[in-house]
Structure 1
């Protein structure tokens, strides 16, 4: 007799998308919007005259349709455009101590914040405060610091280019380069590794390149949940008969098959399109091994073909003209045995050789990757090896080919482009100084890990967050929470209540801002902001909904207000830039020449693409060449033994980063819960456990995720998966890629132990 599965666990048989997605959108609309006129916002999302989706950074097609959004994009909009409000009456009814006991889902589900607040320790409540009073008090606390470097200025990728540019201006005019940023937690290995390889820390492809690709490799990402609009693009590749090769430790429905909600025929016939032509479940952390295996097989096949009098498989002309370091790469690959590659990757040699064959028989190849590549101790090395593989056949800088990092938040790439970086270039700082008559600091500042460390050690005294939920997103909540509570000042510029806002310092403020869906009028004129997607396209975004409260201010207005209060003697025209965002864009153009004719170009439907030299085979490296970069061995030692698993953190289908829209993970068959760990069925049996067993995950440093329910799932042997941010308790602040600073959320050595309180 078959065993009864644990509560809330049942296989999902449908495809990604399809009726399941439409039902989920309808439920989200009913729950958050009801019969509100705000539902029209869904038809304005990702349209030339509308607003940019506040979710992922997948680009818009040149010819948008009337239905250009996905399930998770719709959830992001309904979450922001909800009818629910968090007013002063809410805080009068709930102390901070009580709110701390609420789940993260419940905190954000309470609704939109409506007016500025300060924490009153005597009553343990947030109480209303006027905007001028709040900004003046914050400025006073900042000016009381011993040094500007005692302040941390955090930025989330939800901020617009205009807001991010003003934010870095305020901090640098104040005197610090401390810019911990959400990029530090996700794609910093891209920003560090790719400039060393190809001269730019961005992808080289456009959306149109997928129309010409002969093969697409998808490595370490889950488009069904994290960037669902990509599924439409992959469907088109599949329908053209081109192979889609997947390397991922888990079987993910969004990489297997997809039913396009925009296709009436698909929806009426309940059909779907197969996506992956080959699906390889690499071990967690085995990416360097498999990438080196593909390159090893390719180089051997090239030598064999040439020796037999056939055509070369490598693009030797490209290698000779555009690159250096090829000989070193070949020598390194010759030292690696197939036995080691198989052991580290978890894949047999013949499977890796088959991937290599698919790669060399395709004239144009795109490789897409996500945080399954970057969030490792060796994330930067992973990125470098992807670039190496592409360069071997000249698959960078030609139509239909290139490297495609899949960014998270819709403007995480744009924030970096307009100056949110702790390691600014001298040329940028010189132009900034000239444009505003300031003397920006030259000392490098803090990334996210360094900021948290400084806060924990007491050398940083102030944290200002432009969006996000920093304390919950970072490793080791115990350290992060204690660090925030020891601060002098915690300021959160947010739309909804979250965990970080409840970490009250000696002085704490919540400054509620407009959402991207809402109208932003300044001096009676509707303003537009801009964002940059993951393929370097910059376009305008204009909200169309009535703001959730008359007391909300735009991010630009809040930041400029802080600038006025903090730097009263500055010649910077804060009022003028707030009144007309075109003036901010004029200054961005002055500081960043690639934004030439900025205001004119964003008024063109679809916007414009920023210069990406590598797309034209121009390499912005010191010697003007692309570099093959060798990494020793086949990935860092992951600490694995026969009794150790590697845990990778996952996002559910009902969340975006730390925002939890609901408690379901539809494609993985989870309903109404998040307290689970995904384990290979054979591994469960070998451990003497079964699906439904309560287990603890224990790291070598005795960090514990306790009492989670084991769920049998098609995941690579030796790996387990648990939800982020709950599993952040397993990651130490010092466990990160030391080349980029990105925490190792996806390579956590753990023992799986029966939970002490569970029945034997």
Structure 2
């Protein structure tokens, strides 16, 4: 390894509720700076609230110089670094402040001047650190050198890169079956490192490539693939600018994809209809002041971001969509314009079966399952029927359910009825939550790879990749628990906190012979480890990547299939950090000493990796030239051109029955979610501005009538019990109940604290995703 490789005018609300403080679970976020508070939020999203929050965060982190510098380089066309936060596409018109509150926080958190080196680990044992909050762990700063766990002292101690790679290599070479290793990937990993990572795993002989998509958007990929022959959405930002109607299902845009607020505000100004569908009316579904619109900021002028808000019960979205389709089909009996019969006849299969299912679904069942009235369904159907061009977008509110795949396919059914595919301003648009999670899948992180991809990988790279499907996230945890997976490598992320069934996940990781975490900051996954453990610190997205052939850039793919370059701007936090491609190459060479793959040569110049990727990956032809074009390039989408890679060669209607999502008497359907001041498992504070929460994370949002029925006081302490498919129970005690505008029978709370309630056995039989948005719980006053 070379030396230089080592080298983010509103009415007054009601009086705040008085807290009733009960016992607490161990905290994830920082120590609260006061008592818990709840004030219903009435202000626009973003605007001055976001500006104030960002300023306070920059002051707190001591980043009043580096923060603004980063802001001016983030998401800039081919000259800056891609925000390591969400996957919303970059502006296509040269906007110089294509940024958001959470993106700025995410970047500032990475650029901290605090450091975690050998002195820190010498002063703190793993047993001691296990008692620290997750906020306090990450708040210590950037990791500076590779560390190995010493069981004799219970401390991490320094190790050279060469020796660290040999630890990994020896463990992998010693396995009696390559399937005893699993290689996890977080969505932050760039495309070039992604490609090398999957190449290493497959040259070793395994497809055990679990990733964060297994917990988030697996249902989207499988549903779209079955319906359209592609696992991705078909629209881009230009389509969003041309749509007459936008339907936003299960998306909390103000926190999870804040730059979407610009698109929603622009759509409202041009007269488009915007329908938000979510059990909670989030801030993004009301009004916004876009921070880079200086006139609106100066005048405190808010723009509406919705024309209709519908609040189905948790899991009721599919019934709503089925009801909308039923209305469109009923209208077609008297209005020939209701359906696009030419499109249906020329490009689809299974229409008559779907029509029969819709006609046979009674309105009483649609109302019962959706939790909405027939009048509400008619409102949404009217918006859809009146629009010439409609886009339907969705996020985890739709996918983390048993019936997630069916719901995604039901969205496609609705789009097909009116030919909303293959033309400007229309189509499906999944909202991916992490910067390059879509690129990870595109570039080979897939435990169920297709034969065409493997054939080309074999031909170009000269390896014999395994054909047997590997294990996803859930099955990897199960296999670690049984002792079948002995080596776990985590490429980014915080697997221990992100996964479901927290105690079981912890036990599974601790059952490994070796756990390896490639990270920028200290987190829980470093403390929940195998018999041996390595922490391998890597460069951040904001940092310059020096290799033998000069400073390197990496590529990422956004939520709408645009691929572009990201170039770091800062000096690395430590001269001992390696890039992600260099770390992968180092592990690969140690594990495969006789490999003909030119691992070291690849790392010298990432153009070489891209040249190989261009030969392996569909849509990446002429990669190095096209990725340097203004805005990069868009991966071809056959379904956008009405080419459907399905068995019939057509877009496929699906006709499943409606699932029963109505909670049993006495139970609630609970969905986990992030707070506003949080990005995935990283917690910036114990506040959730857009939901009116301060100094509190151990809470559950409930309908006031449900609280009254159970004798629960406002902000009163409660005990929460979940019941899994196998009858086992999980518990959280002393959480505070917050009365909230959420349908009866529904509840919500924050991950990762509530991940403990989602049993590992509670995964979707359609997508294999943990059912984190539909946990069966009882909530009672604290004992």
TM interval, shorter chain, is: over 0.9
Give SS of 2:619's match: helix
- Number of the residue aligned with 1:529: 554
Output the CA distance in 2 between the equivalents of 1:594 and 1:65. 27
Is structure 2 residue 292 aligned with structure 1 residue 279?
Answer: no
Is structure 2 residue 647 aligned with structure 1 residue 617?
Answer: no
Give SS of 2:734's match: strand
Output the CA distance in 1 between the equivalents of 2:674 and 2:554. 29
Report the TM-score when normalising by structure 2: 0.94
- Number of the residue aligned with 1:29: 58
- Number of the residue aligned with 1:45: 74
CA contact (8 A) 2:491 2:518 kept: yes
Output the CA distance in 1 between the equivalents of 2:584 and 2:472. 21
- Number of the residue aligned with 2:456: 431
* Aligned with residue 88 of structure 2, among 31, 38, 58: 58
- Number of the residue aligned with 2:30: none
- Number of the residue aligned with 2:402: 377
Output the CA distance in 2 between the equivalents of 1:385 and 1:260. 33
- Number of the residue aligned with 2:743: 716
CA contact (8 A) 2:722 2:776 kept: yes
Tell me: CA distance 1:424–1:692, structure 2 relative to 1, closer, same or farther (3 Å).
same
Is structure 2 residue 722 aligned with structure 1 residue 695?
Answer: no
User: Over aligned residues, Cα RMSD in angstroms?
Assistant: 1.2
Tell me how far 1:619 sits from its aligned partner. Answer: 0.7
* Aligned with residue 159 of structure 1, among 178, 186, 189: 189
Is structure 2 residue 393 aligned with structure 1 residue 368?
Answer: yes
Deviation string 1:348-370 (CA, Å, 9 cap, x unpaired) is: 00110111111011000000100
* Aligned with residue 742 of structure 1, among 752, 769, 772: 769
Tell me: CA distance 1:379–1:267, structure 2 relative to 1, closer, same or farther (3 Å).
same
* Aligned with residue 685 of structure 1, among 681, 685, 708: 708
Tell me how far 1:431 sits from its aligned partner. Answer: 1.2
Give SS of 1:577's match: helix
Output the CA distance in 2 between the equivalents of 1:2 and 1:504. 46
Output the CA distance in 1 between the equivalents of 2:81 and 2:509. 34
Is structure 2 residue 672 aligned with structure 1 residue 649?
Answer: yes
Give SS of 1:664's match: coil
Deviation string 1:312-361 (CA, Å, 9 cap, x unpaired) is: 31001000000000011111112211111111111000110111111011
* Aligned with residue 407 of structure 1, among 426, 432, 437: 432
- Number of the residue aligned with 1:732: 759
- Number of the residue aligned with 1:127: 157
* Aligned with residue 683 of structure 2, among 632, 646, 660: 660
Tell me how far 1:639 sits from its aligned partner. Answer: 6.5
Question: What is the aligned residue count?
Answer: 749
Give SS of 1:44's match: coil
- Number of the residue aligned with 2:221: 191
Tell me how far 1:38 sits from its aligned partner. Answer: 5.5
* Superposed counterparts of 1:296-445, under 5 Å: 296-305=326-335, 311-445=336-470
Output the CA distance in 2 between the equivalents of 1:383 and 1:290. 13
Give SS of 1:647's match: strand
Unmatched runs of 5 consecutive residues or more in structure 1: 306-310
Tell me how far 1:2 sits from its aligned partner. Answer: 7.2
CA contact (8 A) 2:549 2:604 kept: no
Deviation string 1:193-246 (CA, Å, 9 cap, x unpaired) is: 111101101011010111110000011111000000000000000001111011
- Number of the residue aligned with 1:90: 120
* Superposed counterparts of 1:253-292, under 5 Å: 253-292=283-322
Tell me: CA distance 1:346–1:638, structure 2 relative to 1, closer, same or farther (3 Å).
closer
CA contact (8 A) 1:476 1:733 kept: yes
- Number of the residue aligned with 2:146: 116
Give SS of 2:38's match: coil
CA contact (8 A) 2:316 2:661 kept: no
Which moves more between the two structures, 65-74 or 9-18? Answer: 9-18
Output the CA distance in 2 between the equivalents of 1:518 and 1:3. 43
Output the CA distance in 2 between the equivalents of 1:354 and 1:690. 35
Output the CA distance in 1 between the equivalents of 2:600 and 2:294. 51
CA contact (8 A) 1:33 1:39 kept: no
Deviation string 1:151-192 (CA, Å, 9 cap, x unpaired) is: 000011100000000000011011100000101010000111
Tell me: CA distance 1:79–1:246, structure 2 relative to 1, closer, same or farther (3 Å).
same
Tell me how far 1:640 sits from its aligned partner. Answer: 1.6
Give SS of 1:642's match: coil
* Aligned with residue 698 of structure 2, among 669, 672, 675: 675
Deviation string 1:450-477 (CA, Å, 9 cap, x unpaired) is: 1111111111111001001112111111
Query: After the TM superposition, which parts of structure 1 deviate over 6 Å for at least 4 consecutive aligned residues?
Result: none
CA contact (8 A) 2:718 2:780 kept: yes
Output the CA distance in 1 between the equivalents of 2:306 and 2:16. 31
Output the CA distance in 2 between the equivalents of 1:313 and 1:130. 67
CA contact (8 A) 1:638 1:749 kept: no
Tell me how far 1:690 sits from its aligned partner. Answer: 2.0
Tell me how far 1:92 sits from its aligned partner. Answer: 1.2
Report the TM-score when normalising by structure 1: 0.97
Output the CA distance in 2 between the equivalents of 1:624 and 1:750. 43
Output the CA distance in 1 between the equivalents of 2:548 and 2:93. 33
Give SS of 2:37's match: coil
Tell me how far 1:702 sits from its aligned partner. Answer: 2.0
Tell me how far 1:34 sits from its aligned partner. Answer: 3.2
Output the CA distance in 1 between the equivalents of 2:58 and 2:539. 20
CA contact (8 A) 1:32 1:84 kept: no
- Number of the residue aligned with 1:5: 18
Output the CA distance in 2 between the equivalents of 1:522 and 1:359. 52
Give SS of 2:119's match: helix
- Number of the residue aligned with 2:734: 707
Tell me: CA distance 1:4–1:374, structure 2 relative to 1, closer, same or farther (3 Å).
closer
Which moves more between the two structures, 214-223 or 332-341? Answer: 332-341
Deviation string 1:291-329 (CA, Å, 9 cap, x unpaired) is: 111111110011132xxxxx3310010000000000111
Tell me how far 1:740 sits from its aligned partner. Answer: 1.2
CA contact (8 A) 2:712 2:718 kept: no
Unmatched runs of 5 consecutive residues or more in structure 2: 1-13, 20-35
- Number of the residue aligned with 1:308: none
Output the CA distance in 2 between the equivalents of 1:740 and 1:644. 25
